[in-house]
Amino acid sequence: MRFQYRYFGHSGAQHTANSTALQFAPDTLRAPVHFVADINRHLPFREGMSALHDVVVGDLRFKPRDKSAYLEWLAGQEGELLAQFMARSDAIKAQMEPISKELTELRKSKRAVMQPFMSAQQRYFDHIYKVNREAWFVLDPVITVHPDRVFFECFSQDESSYGMFSCSHDIFDRVSDHAFGTTNVDYSESLYDEFQKIRNYKTTRLTIDPGGFQVQSDNDPAFHEPKIDVPDSWVRGFLQVSSAMLLPAQRLQLHPMDIHNICLVLRRRKERAGPRSLRFILRPGQPVRILFEPWGHEMVCPRSTHSAVSDTDIRVWGRRRLLQLERLVPVAQGFTVHLLGTGMPSFWVAQLPDMEFTLGLSGWTANDWSRNGHFELLQPRQTVDQDSLLRVFAALGERWRATTDELAAATGLSTLTVDAALGGYVQAGRVVYDIAHGVWRLRELSREPLPMDKLRYASPEEEAAAELVRARRITNVKTQARSDGGVSLSGKCKGSAGQREYFTSLQLDADQRVASGECQCSHFVRHRMTKGPCEHMLALRLSAAPAVTAMTEKTTKTTDQERTTAHIG
């Protein structure tokens, strides 16, 4: 998938003895978006932008050494080297004996002997890392200006981490020019270096430059038009995040020192074997306890609170990505952690003065958002007519941000219909969910509509489920209302090949989100729900959708009548 930008000039910064001016160059191909104001929270803003940068360049995938140049040289020299070795083999063997003995002794003190070499090697890789850093940026950060906030979004290169840095308008003074909307901004490694020069004693001005929109000549040499080819998986993963934010989760309130202690343990220890997880031990009425595996080190957080009403243990992998929060510890007022479950994503929200930084982590580092986390499949799967879709989007467009209840009241639609409509817009890249404030926000991820033909099915399981429904391989579908407002589904499903029949069941909560499920297929036996529902669960849900919708509407009408009767009485 190709993204094309057109920037007028480059983002940069100007420094004097008393001031710092940060200037972002927006994409002039998109609708004009600009914002000019002074920042009054200098250090928290600097640390938030720096943490966002750490997410952008984050890539914890295994990187084997590039030996192509050596192998090419070896292929050209192989004959000559072999001839030289055969001619000198006896002499070489005699020379190797004392050297081998010496190496055996040196290995006993390898760390001391190899330290100069390792230091030089690290300096070399640091140099390469800095020189080639531009290639690490997959997609320029997305910036959105709303009537109440300005927020930046980014996604890591390894597709496992999502970052949002949200700033209230209260951190800005003398807002002189602004236009609401979403755009991409030119971002570079040199700009990150300029962020580090922000100081409290300097006036800092943030400018999302409107000048590029006023230039009429398309041939102006100041324009540059980068074209970036992004994998479909990268875009799909970006869209998965809001879907995961809506799932039920255990909420923890951690003190900044708790995050500091987590990072301290991770930096002081190196795991040599699995399991490499953080085990959150939640007991009602007790502080949060965190067990670091495989070391067995337990950390108690006496100033923490949690929402667990029963004994709960949740394990989180890919924990070294939490080091991206380390810079926020000195300026954070607290951290809210949303744990979706063992092997599931987690969201870490840092509360800064009039700012929030949200870090979304997939289940583990290799479990990226796009291929292994189809969380939109757990959301309400209700068919919404075109008129209702447009009404919901128009209501959100008027407000820029709103809760589900506010949009339901404005459109006269049920909350389930609103959630289903917004879920579709999330997958189209037009809406994002702000977990820090519990609201939906208007945000156009791209200038042009995303190619939904490529993104239509978020997973092979969803495509296979649609085929199972079309082939009518779902039988004995039963729906039963529960006392808590949820719905129980059960049925039998023949596999894609049609040779075996599976018994499948699903439990939907009061908001029609998948709470749990069971199936006899190999996908569920291996992964449970960590990679989303299997194709048989999805097919069961699609087949039962009309009955579930009718049951929900009946329950809603009954509840409304009871409320009306109670009010009159």
pLDDT of residue 562: 53
pLDDT of residue 310: 92
- Could you tell me which residue, 456 or 499, shows the higher pLDDT? 499
pLDDT of residue 395: 94
pLDDT of residue 124: 59
- Could you tell me which residue, 61 or 458, shows the higher pLDDT? 61
pLDDT of residue 241: 83
pLDDT of residue 23: 77
pLDDT at 541 over 90: no
For the stretch 103-141, pLDDT in tens is 777 777 666 666 777 677 667 556 544 554 444 344 457
Q: Find the distance separating the first CA and the last CA of the chain, reported in whole Å.
A: 60
* CB-CB neighbours of 415 under 10 Å: 16
For residue 127, what are its two tokens?
A: 């140099």
pLDDT at 221 over 60: no
pLDDT of residue 146: 92
pLDDT at 563 over 60: no
**Region 323-342 average pLDDT:** 94
For the stretch 233-261, pLDDT in tens is 667 777 778 778 888 889 999 999 999 99
- Could you tell me which residue, 27 or 442, shows the higher pLDDT? 442
Q: How far apart are CA 299 and CA 281, in angstroms?
A: 10
* Local structure of 352: helix, strand or coil: strand
In the chain, the amino acid numbered 223 is F
Q: How far apart are CA 137 and CA 56, in angstroms?
A: 7
Tell me the pLDDT of the chain averaged across its residues: 79
Contact 180, 147 (CB under 8 A): yes
Say whether the peptide bond before residue 248 is cis (omega within 30 degrees of 0).
Answer: no
* CB-CB neighbours of 50 under 10 Å: 17
Domains and CATH numbers, the chain: 2-57+137-230 (3.10.150), 74-134 (no CATH), 239-368 (3.10.150.10), 379-454 (1.10.10.10), 459-568 (no CATH)
**Region 302-321 average pLDDT:** 91
How confident is residue 219, by pLDDT bands cut at 50, 70 and 90?
Answer: very low
pLDDT at 449 over 70: no
pLDDT of residue 344: 82
Share of the chain above pLDDT 90, in %: 27
Maximum average pLDDT range among 309-323, 454-468, 527-541 = 309-323
- Could you tell me which residue, 114 or 14, shows the higher pLDDT? 14
* Local structure of 284: helix, strand or coil: coil
For the stretch 407-444, pLDDT in tens is 999 999 988 889 888 888 887 888 999 999 999 999 88
pLDDT at 68 over 80: no
pLDDT of residue 210: 62
pLDDT of residue 560: 46
Query: Following CA atoms 86, 92, 97, 102 in sequence, which dihedral angle do they give, to the nearest 10 degrees?
Result: -130
- Could you tell me which residue, 297 or 119, shows the higher pLDDT? 297
- The runs of H, that is alpha helices, within 30-109 are 42-56, 68-87, 89-108
**Region 337-354 average pLDDT:** 91
How confident is residue 7, by pLDDT bands cut at 50, 70 and 90?
Answer: low
**Region 324-328 average pLDDT:** 94
Maximum average pLDDT range among 66-80, 199-213, 483-497, 516-530 = 516-530
pLDDT of residue 103: 79
